[in-house]
Structure 1
């Protein structure tokens, strides 16, 4: 089978986690008065997300159990390719190997892109650089009786909702830092196209394409001044963590084989 991770580019641009049905709405004091959100215990909404965006601060934890690749998501303001780091959670399209059949999360680390669900920040067309809080109203946890209240009786954000916004503030900041890192990789021309190829014990083949990784040969040929600058900015540590994380492909293959065996 041949599977492309190009669909991950769409997930990178999506305001909330990938799922079949979304109803994205601005959080509004009148519209969402009395609404509550239950904590996420069912990760079925991410079952088809084989890759999700990652920020640099998450690389260390993610690398312990999933590969980290990069996908192309368009052009930046300087007309250069824009890339986004992705946590790879599946080797086939529309299959997240960390979400079990019962919707439980079968791993230690959950990317912040998924942990923020059903909330996200978006830039509205008329808002310029201003960020607006949105919620996916199709989320099963959104209801009128259970969970954390969103809006107080006075029409103000509850402590819970303010906590969510602080989390999203940090997430936005880390995204900006990650964009600087990715732009530097592009500027130094350190990326190359990559693919994941292999044979499963049952003879089935995996060939995942559509992503990029750091080219170690190009990295080793960088001038000393560039290498020192990457070290001092912490970018070299992110590069090495990414390269180490690609070793988790085998762990994903083992998850895939275990899933196939369980279905037989």
Structure 2
């Protein structure tokens, strides 16, 4: 474990609500249990209002970096007992405050992380982690008997809609695995350092987001040429630079936070 990871290991990570409803009812998608059930598309993003950060895959970095900072959060040890980190799209500067969800539940940004777009579906690992199984959050308000996309066809097989969902989750799983390799390489090269976002708002309120990591540009600049070339050839260097550029979006989040305050004062 690097010294940077040791020093910030105990810090509180940003909340990582993975697109779940306030009161989850997770169930395996079943041809009998969900026969006749339909799913309406998400129009109300209130379920993500408390998610100030969500996991991100490397393939999403380019789109995410245009609107939100990308940091790395320590989530434990991997199978080799090394620190495991996950990239996170930061969507708020305070716990349980997603600045990209408006007061009326609209998603107020161009990009939506796949972690949220997949909702109310997800894969869970069963049989000791060997098998991926499709689940749905039955607490999702768009799950109903009359409107939206049918889940199970009359013959008991998944509809084209549900098959597309599974294809999306298959791609998501693959990108997660690729992202894990990228993060493991950052740890191996000891390129990460503890980071924090601190500042004062115009009205005197303070912002203090801690518990995440970012690439140390000084360490990056001191890498041997062979390592730099390897990072370029694998596409990892592009991800690193995108992550570093994304940190410029902190100011955009601060502006969103400040813009909300008059509305909150008026509502009070």
Indicate the TM-score class for this superposition, using the shorter chain for normalisation. Answer: over 0.9
TM-score by length of 2: 0.93
Q: Is the 8 A contact 1:69 1:85 kept in 2?
A: yes
In 1: Cα distance, 2:132 partner to 2:161 partner: 19
Q: Is the 8 A contact 2:21 2:139 kept in 1?
A: no
Q: Where do 1:138-217 residues align within 5 Å?
A: 138-217=139-218
Q: Is the 8 A contact 2:20 2:120 kept in 1?
A: no
**Aligned residue pairs, count:** 255
Q: Is the 8 A contact 2:152 2:158 kept in 1?
A: yes
In 2: Cα distance, 1:21 partner to 1:73 partner: 23
Q: Where do 1:1-264 residues align within 5 Å?
A: 6-8=13-15, 11=17, 16-124=18-126, 126-264=127-265
The CA deviation at 1:5 is 5.6
Q: Which residue of 1 aligns with 2:4?
A: none
Q: Is the 8 A contact 1:50 1:96 kept in 2?
A: yes
The CA deviation at 1:240 is 0.3
The CA deviation at 1:127 is 4.9
Query: Which 5+ residue runs of structure 2 have no aligned equivalent?
Result: 1-10
The CA deviation at 1:153 is 1.1
Q: Give the 4+ runs in structure 1 shifted more than 4 A.
A: none
Q: Which residue of 1 aligns with 2:6?
A: none
The CA deviation at 1:130 is 1.1
TM-score by length of 1: 0.94
In 1: Cα distance, 2:20 partner to 2:244 partner: 26
RMSD between superposed Cα atoms in Å:
1.1
In 1: Cα distance, 2:109 partner to 2:219 partner: 33
Q: Is the 8 A contact 1:5 1:208 kept in 2?
A: no
The CA deviation at 1:6 is 1.4
Q: Deviations over 1:209-264 (max 9, x none)?
A: 01000011110111110000000000000000000000100000000000112222
